[in-house]
Structures are given as structure tokens and as C-alpha cells.
Structure 1
Amino acid sequence: MTARETGVRGTEAVRVRAEGNVEEGVLEYLRAKIGAVLDRQGLPPVTGGVRIAKANAHHAEHPWTAAAELRVGPDLVVAHAREATSQEATDRLQDRLRRQVERALDSRQTARRSAPPPPWRGGAGEDGPRAAEEPAGDRPA
């Protein structure tokens, strides 16, 4: 079983590889589906590889496997699929990859938003930052 390098997407290095006896039509379909996930506004630079393979064993129940290991900005996104046909494996990989990319982007955006510090760390409480330190009865008149 040998691997074939079948192309690089745009300026970001996303390699699509085929292992085993894989037709060119299968690779074109895979490129289109992966491109649909990765060609969107606001996505940081993407690098990595996508692989599709067909098992040599004729008795295998799910002979097609598709896998993606991509670095989306600082995040590593990994997705795998195993199905009976190449189209099913590609579609399942696309769905899983889309969810993983969305999850990585959402976690980066929520990490950027910071809540104000709590009152015990010097943040403003309901009555101000130092209102709770001195009880009203103990203050000098």
C-alpha cells in the first residue's frame, strides 16, 4: 500500500492523501467537502493533512477510512470516519471536522472574553469595592 500526495490547498498547507486503490473522483469529492469546511471568513491559518484509504481486504464491513489532522491557528483538530463507501466516509468526516473546527473557534472566542474580577479579588461588588470591609456601626462619626 503506497500513499499518493494529491495536492495542497491554496497558501495554507492542507495535504490530501490517498492510500491504496482510490480513484481520482473520490479525491475530488473529498477536496470539495474539506474545502467547504475550511473556506470561510475569520478562520485562522490552517495546516495539516487529510487522508482517505480503502482497505485491501474484500471482506471488511467498513473498508473506507478518512482522517484529518489539522492545526487551525493554535488549536489541533482531529477527526476520523470509517464507513462502507467513500462518499459516506467523506460526508461523516466533513460533519465531524466542521463540529471540531466550530468547537475550537468557540473556545478561543470565549477564552478572550473576560469577566470582571470578583469582589474578593478587588473587583466592584454591589455597593462598591470596599463597602463590605467596614460595618456601618463601627465607622467613626
Structure 2
Amino acid sequence: MTAKDTGTHVTSTVAVQVRAEGDVDEEALAYVRTKVDTAFNRPGVPDVSGEVRIEKAAAHHVEQPWAARAELVVANTLVVVHAQEATAHELADRLQDRLRSQMTRVLHRKEAARRSATPPPWRGGQAISGRD
């Protein structure tokens, strides 16, 4: 089994390479590519780069033969997503949902890190006294 390289997609600040292993048809790759692009082409998404690998198991008795692994770097944060489904369309949909939720976590974590709490009085913050 050799990996088929389907190229790098560069749309604005997104550079994600989609690769296929095994018996993956072009229609399935196109659908996965569309879903991955949709997950990252939103306002407020920082630079994204990395790779998504799609593979189909050769054994016919496998219950969920389609698998995806995504290893992406989103604004200096490593995001790893795994998905496994029965069909290529279900896999692409599941992958999009998981990528979107991980992106939301990364963006939320970034926003939460910007906000800083007021330091307590013993560290030089304002003292709230009940005496007036």
C-alpha cells in the first residue's frame, strides 16, 4: 500500500494536506477535502497547517473500515483528531465535527489565556473592604 498524495490546499492561512492510503476513491477524497476546508474557513481561525490521512481497511469483514487521522498545528497548538466510521461520507462528517470542536477549544483557550483575573489584595490588587 502506498500513500496517494492529493496535494496541499492553501486557502488564506490554511495549509492542510489530505492524503489517502489504501483503496480510497477520488470522490471520497473530494468530500473529505471539502469538509476539512469548511471546518477551517471561518472568521477568527488562526494559521492552520498539517496533514489529514484517510484510509480504508482492505479486510471486508471490518465493521468500520474507514479511518481518519489528523495532526494539525493551529496557532502553535498541536491538534490531533481520530475518527472511524462505516462509510466515507460518515467519516468526513464526523471528522468535520471533531475538527470544529477542537478549533473551538483552541480558540476558547486562547481567549481565556488573554483574560487575567484581578490579583488578590496580598499581591497588590484592590482591597475590597466591608467597612465604609
TM-score by length of 2: 0.92
Shift of 1:97: 0.9
4+ residue runs over 2 A deviation = none
Matched, 1:65 2:86: no
SS in 2 for 1:57: coil
Deviations, residues 28-50 of structure 1 (Å, cap 9, x unaligned): 10011001111112211111001
Shift of 1:9: 1.3
Consecutive unaligned residues in structure 2, runs of 5 or more: none
Deviations, residues 46-104 of structure 1 (Å, cap 9, x unaligned): 11001110001111111000121110011111111111111111111111111011001
Q: Distance in 2 between matches of 1:43 and 1:90?
A: 20
| Number of residues of Structure 1 aligned to a counterpart in Structure 2 | 128
Tell me the equivalent position of 1:75.
77
> Which aligned pairs between 1:1-141 and structure 2 lie closer than 5 A?
1-10=1-10, 12-127=14-129
Q: Distance in 1 between matches of 2:7 and 2:43?
A: 22
One-letter amino acid matched to 1:71: V
TM-score by length of 1: 0.86
Consecutive unaligned residues in structure 1, runs of 5 or more: 132-141
Percent sequence identity over matched residues? 56
Superposed CA RMSD: 1.3
SS in 1 for 2:125: coil
Asked which structure has the greater RCO (Cα within 8 Å, sep 6+), the reply is 2
Q: Distance in 2 between matches of 1:44 and 1:94?
A: 17
SS in 2 for 1:105: helix
Q: Which protein is bigger by CA-based radius of gyration?
A: 1
Q: Distance in 1 between matches of 2:93 and 2:69?
A: 12
SS in 1 for 2:68: strand
